[in-house]
Amino acid sequence: MSVVDSMRMTSPKPSAKAAWRRRAHRGTTDFIPWGSMQKLKSQLKKKLEGVCRLGILGVGSELRGDDAIGLCVARNLGRKTKTAGPVDVRAFLGHTAPESLTGEIKKFRPTHLLIVDAASMNKAPGEACLFDAQDIREGISFSTHRMPLNILASYLRQSFPCSIMVLGIQPQTLDFGKKPSRAVQASARVLCRVIRDVLRTR
């Protein structure tokens, strides 16, 4: 065995955090700091405990820049249900009227429902926070849908037992006719990876 081969076998593998820092140096961390990503992953693991059927409800307008990000996340996760392991995942595209899908959601009867939406939280573009639907506090403004998310969640809970949470993503632009920003699109990609990782460990 050569010295080079020996060094390759004995050299420790880089930690996930070190890899994340290298990506940060190259500007490819998808705009979510390591600490925030780990915290969000931990919260999702706790909130998705016992999940059997997961509904992903994307909310927003595709005509207003980053307001479309909830739809992007739902589509992405809905296309890749095979990576969810034993969990049955179904995506619902609520656009600006998510209440119109309550019938379809009730038929699916998810054990857990994750609502994904752009949310103005006075954070950096692309940062994400997880909320219990009934605990959405004042000072957080969600996107352009008509029915408040906490009222929608309350209505669904009255129909069947379900754990409902909201994943809010800070937009950069909500201007009419704009495409989603690079920062928020990149954040959506890493959020989808995190959610799939959590589902695979159920």
Its pTM stands at: 0.81
Q: What domains does the chain contain, in order, with CATH numbers?
A: 3-200 (3.40.50.1450)
Whether the CB-CB separation of 114 and 132 falls below 8 Å is answered with: no
Q: Which position has the higher pLDDT, 11 or 166?
A: 166
Average pLDDT over residues 27-53: 80
pLDDT reported for residue 133: 79
Answer with the residue of higher pLDDT: 190 or 9. 190
Give the range among 13-17, 79-83, 85-89, 121-125 with minimum mean pLDDT: 13-17
Q: What is the pLDDT of residues 116-132, one digit of tens each?
A: 999 988 899 999 999 88
- CA angle at 122 for the pair 167 and 133, rounded to the nearest 5°: 30
| Predicted confidence (pLDDT) per residue in 148-165, tens digit | 888 888 889 898 899 999
Q: Measured in whole angstroms, how far is the alpha carbon of residue 18 from the centre of its chain?
A: 24
pLDDT surpasses 90 at 185: yes
Which of these ranges, 16-25, 74-83, 99-108, 146-155, has the smallest mean pLDDT?
16-25
Q: Would you call 201 exposed, middle or buried from its count of C-beta atoms within 10 A (0-12, 13-18, 19+)?
A: exposed
